[in-house]
Chain A
Amino acid sequence: MKILTVCGMGFGTSLMLKMFIQDLLKELNIKADTDVSDLGSVRGSQADLIVAPSDMKTHLVDLSIPVIFIENLIDKREIRSKVAPVLKQLHETAGGA
């Protein structure tokens, strides 16, 4: 499973997001690849899930991949409440891989 976090440049806020998600994955005991990206590289990425700041809603439309928008990037609870269920779902559909 591959998860992509997005921000404007690919090494700032997306990096923080990625770290939070990595913590979450460890907590849920799910294995997945996480990576960062800037807006431009999202479409070619072949990710299974995208997590992005809610400011980017207008930029990330019409994607075939599920996107989760986060209001408060440093709020671990928000991230957990929004991302965890999707992670678990994807994990089960992938056959627990």
Chain B
Amino acid sequence: MTVSQLALLTRASPRTVRYDLDDLARWLAPRGVTLVRRPRRGVWLEGELRPLGKAVPRHEAATADPFLPSPQRQALTAGRLLATGAAVAVRDLTGLLGVTRATVYRELDRVGARLKKRSLALEHTRSGVRISGGETSRRWALYELLREWVLDADLREESSGRGSLDAAVGVRLLRELTARSAGELRALVADAAEAAAYPLTPAQAVGLLFWSAISEARLRVGCSVQLPERAVAGAGELAEHHLAVEVLRRLGFPGDHQEAAFLAMTARDARYGPSELRNLQAGRGRERARQAALEFTRQAGCLLGVRLEGDEDLIRGLVLHLEPALDRLELGVVTPNPLLDEIKAKYSGLFAVARQAAESLALPPSGLAEEEIGYLAMHLGAALERLAAPGGNVLRAVLVCEHGVGTAQLLASMLASRLPELLVCGFASSHEVERVAAECQADVVITTRPLAAAPLPAFLVHPLPDVIELVALRTRLQSLLRRPRTDRPLRTDAINGGAAPLMLEHVLTHDTVALDVEARDWQEAIRKAGELMVATGAVRPEYVEGMIRSVLTIGPYVVVGPGIAMPHARPEDGAVRVGMSCVRLARPVVFANKVENPVDLVFAFAAIDNQSHLTVMGQLAELLSTPPLVERIRRAKTVEDVLEVVHAVSAT
């Protein structure tokens, strides 16, 4: 290669490259390799090359390092310039970075361009280079620099700088600002928080660590912030104000109101970790996913004859899945679903419903792939399962998964389907667990990496657990459930086997037909009919009262024909599924004030919208308007006799 090619490759000046080649030659020589240089031909290596891993030297942090790539050089340059008060001589920068003046100037241009976006200017003066601009802008620039380059690893250990190049930059940036180590800063912040009785979130602990270093650096060179009166007064009201005061005292700069105000505001700002910011940015995608989730839920509910819209957990689960799924759709990417075949086999009905509901979404022609539909079906299954066991036996879980958003989604979907008693109510990274758990009122933590400390019972799982692991997890979770839960398979009878419409024989069954029922008045008659629907889970208990209320408010029009009443209430009064019951009273009762038409047949029913019960209603209408059939019901000796009539009507 020629020197100019190398210069392009390393983004340094040719002279820097030559210095580097000198160093390289010196280093290689004792290792049996010669660097050969020929004018107009270039540079190459001769000799026995050992494996590359051994040939590349480990980076030692403390010394000026000629192997730093350009972005790192820029970061250090910016850090030095932003931290100091006076101008920095170019000579110092060449020493800092170990490169030629030419390279330094080039980096300065780039640094200047970036800083311009933050309202800061780079100036060349006789004594050197300096940055001018507002103090707060300057500090924010430093903060962003630290956020970008300082890794968690740098903060945890007393970093010796061994390891990747980036680790060194983070540590060196901090050192530009303060003589204190990361550990000392961390302790200082924690101490201040305790003194102020302020509950620091982990994200804040890190943020405040950075801001403390920045404040110290700037205050040491005599540069403090100037805030408008209003801001200072406002910041004085913040809960973080006391915390800020304590931090400043420990840094050695007590009593500065402006500084305390600024620190309080930035501390408040640091409450939000990166995932929330990501969420805030992802607003648009989230909205689109939410609309899709709502529509999907509506369609699926209609097909199943079950009222699903009220299930916020289902919506949330679907949104969590649909958001990346819709992105993937646009990009043409499909994530594999290892459970797809199983779902199609065991839950064919659910799958068909999910597919049909998904088709109703306004999506690009290719639509959602089967793998995605499989996931949606799993969420539906969990929702149905929750409906089957209302109000209890649900553990809320925070999911800690740092393998990437896609894997987290997959894991959440798997858990949603396999462990319906588990409800993933939030996602967190390992340093936000406590906060997210509190926010979503979690009972347990499910994590893919061991956590140093967890505020709740924590369960470690593989990011892609197999069936055995999930069963094991379920067993472990049992001990936490308040009531013992018998292992019930998914109520596939609640799903009528596919996307075919609900028929009369699905709602009028052995469990919902009763003969010779005693009732003293119409209220009791309605209650008895309603109880049958409650027992089968079609409605909640309050729906029955709703039925009685509707007769009282709207009148006895529920009496539809001679001796026949059809009481019902609104879906919102407590309907869960399309349902019906048939009660033949032992003695006719008078409904409201319809004295002339005492009732002996009560058909109570529940609808969830104005559509999904169309076929059921039509068949009932057919039945009731055919006098011989009604007669058969009146004369029936057993429930089976009634069901025969029902089947006859359903078959048409």
Contact = CB atoms under 8 A, between A and B. Distances in A.
B564 interface: yes
A30 interface: no
Contact of B620 (A9, A10, A16, A56): A16
Interface stretch (B290-298, B530-538, B552-560): B552-560
A15 interface: yes
Contacts of A72: 560-562
A15 B605 CA distance: 13
Nearest to A10: B610
Identify whether the interface residues of B are mostly helix, strand, loop, or mixed: mixed
Interface in B600-630: 605, 607, 609-610, 613-614, 617-618, 620-621, 624-625
B554 A39 contact: yes
Contacts, number: 64
Contact of A15 (B554, B555, B557, B617): B617
A7 B570 CA distance: 12
A19 B617 contact: yes
Interface string B281-307: 000000000000000000000000000
Contact of A13 (B566, B570, B613): B566
B617 A9 contact: no
B607 A11 contact: yes
Most buried by A among B613, B614, B617, B625: B625
Given A9-B570, A16-B617, A74-B625, A56 B557 contact: yes
B568 interface: yes
A66 interface: no
Interface string B537-573: 0000000000000100011111111101010111000
A8 B557 contact: yes
Nearest to A56: B557
A96 interface: no
A36 B617 CA distance: 13
B560 A73 contact: yes
Nearest to A76: B625
Interface in B557-601: 557-562, 564, 566, 568-570
Given A12-B566, A19-B618, A36-B610, A74 B550 contact: no
Nearest to A79: B625
Interface string A30-54: 0000001001000000000000010
A75 to B, nearest CB: 6
A19 B554 contact: no
Contacts of B617: 12, 15-16, 19
Contacts of B609: 11
B618 A12 contact: no
A12 B605 contact: yes
A20 B625 contact: yes
A76 B626 CA distance: 9
A8 B554 contact: yes
A55 B618 contact: no
A55 B557 contact: yes
Contacts of A19: 617-618, 621
Contacts of B564: 74
B556 A74 contact: no
Nearest to A73: B560
A36 B607 CA distance: 15
A74 B630 CA distance: 11
B505 to A, nearest CB: 18
Given A8-B550, A20-B621, A20-B625, A13 B610 contact: no
Nearest to B592: A55
A31 to B, nearest CB: 20
Given A15-B614, A16-B621, A39-B554, A75 B607 contact: no
Contacts of A55: 555-557, 559
Nearest to B610: A11
Contacts of A75: 561, 625
A16 B561 CA distance: 12
Contacts of B620: 16
Most buried by B among A11, A12, A16, A36: A12
A51 B558 CA distance: 16
B621 A12 contact: no
Interface in B612-652: 613-614, 617-618, 620-621, 624-625
Contacts of B610: 10-11, 15, 36
A74 B561 contact: yes
B607 A12 contact: yes
Nearest to A17: B621
A59 B566 CA distance: 20
Interface string A69-82: 00011111000000
Contacts of B550: 8-9
A76 B560 CA distance: 12
A13 B625 contact: no
Contacts of A10: 610
Contacts of B570: 9
A73 B594 CA distance: 15
Contacts of B605: 12
Nearest to B609: A11
B157 to A, nearest CB: 67
B299 to A, nearest CB: 18
A13 B557 contact: yes
Nearest to A53: B557
Contacts of A9: 550, 554, 568-570
Contacts of B559: 55
Nearest to B560: A73
B555 A74 contact: no
Contacts of A16: 560, 617, 620-621, 624
B301 to A, nearest CB: 15
Most buried by A among B557, B559, B605: B557
A74 B624 contact: yes
Interface in B227-274: none
A23 to B, nearest CB: 9
5 contacts: A7-B557, A9-B568, A13-B558, A16-B617, A76-B625
Interface of A: 7-13, 15-16, 19-20, 36, 39, 53, 55-56, 72-76
Given A13-B557, A55-B555, A76-B625, 8 more contacts: A11-B609, A12-B605, A15-B610, A16-B620, A19-B617, A53-B557, A55-B557, A75-B561
